[in-house]
């Protein structure tokens, strides 16, 4: 029998992303009306861990 510890569920693999350095910091006021926010790296490859680990999320999340 194979070692079940070697099985990595979808979503549990290591992920990476590129973040661009800003020349001018955005204003952190809760209002996303500055053009710089539209250039931000977006992350939407989320997986939930409750009630079942690494299943597709029931709600879409964009960070």
Question: What predicted TM-score, i.e. pTM, was given to this entire model?
Answer: 0.50
17-52 confidence digits (pLDDT tens): 888 888 888 899 999 899 888 888 888 887 777 787
User: Does residue 4 have a pLDDT over 70?
Assistant: no
With cut-offs at 50, 70 and 90, classify the pLDDT of residue 62.
confident
Whether residue 1 is contained in a domain is answered as no
Whether residue 4 is contained in a domain is answered as no
User: Does residue 8 have a pLDDT over 80?
Assistant: no
Whether residue 53 is contained in a domain is answered as yes
Contact 26, 34 (CB under 8 A): yes
Q: How many domains does the chain have?
A: 1
Q: Determine the structural domain holding residue 16 and report its residue range.
A: 11-63
Whether residue 3 is contained in a domain is answered as no
DSSP-based three-state secondary structure for 36: helix
Listed residue (45, 41, 50) closest to 15, CA to CA: 45
The pLDDT value recorded for residue 29 is: 94
């Amino acid at each position: 029998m194979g070692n079940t510890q070697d099985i990595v569920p979808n979503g549990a693999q290591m992920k990476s992303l590129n973040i661009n350095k800003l020349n001018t910091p955005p204003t952190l006021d809760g209002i996303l009306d500055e053009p710089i926010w539209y250039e931000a790296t977006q992350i939407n490859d989320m997986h939930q861990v409750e009630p079942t680990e690494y299943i597709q999320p029931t709600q879409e999340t964009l960070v």
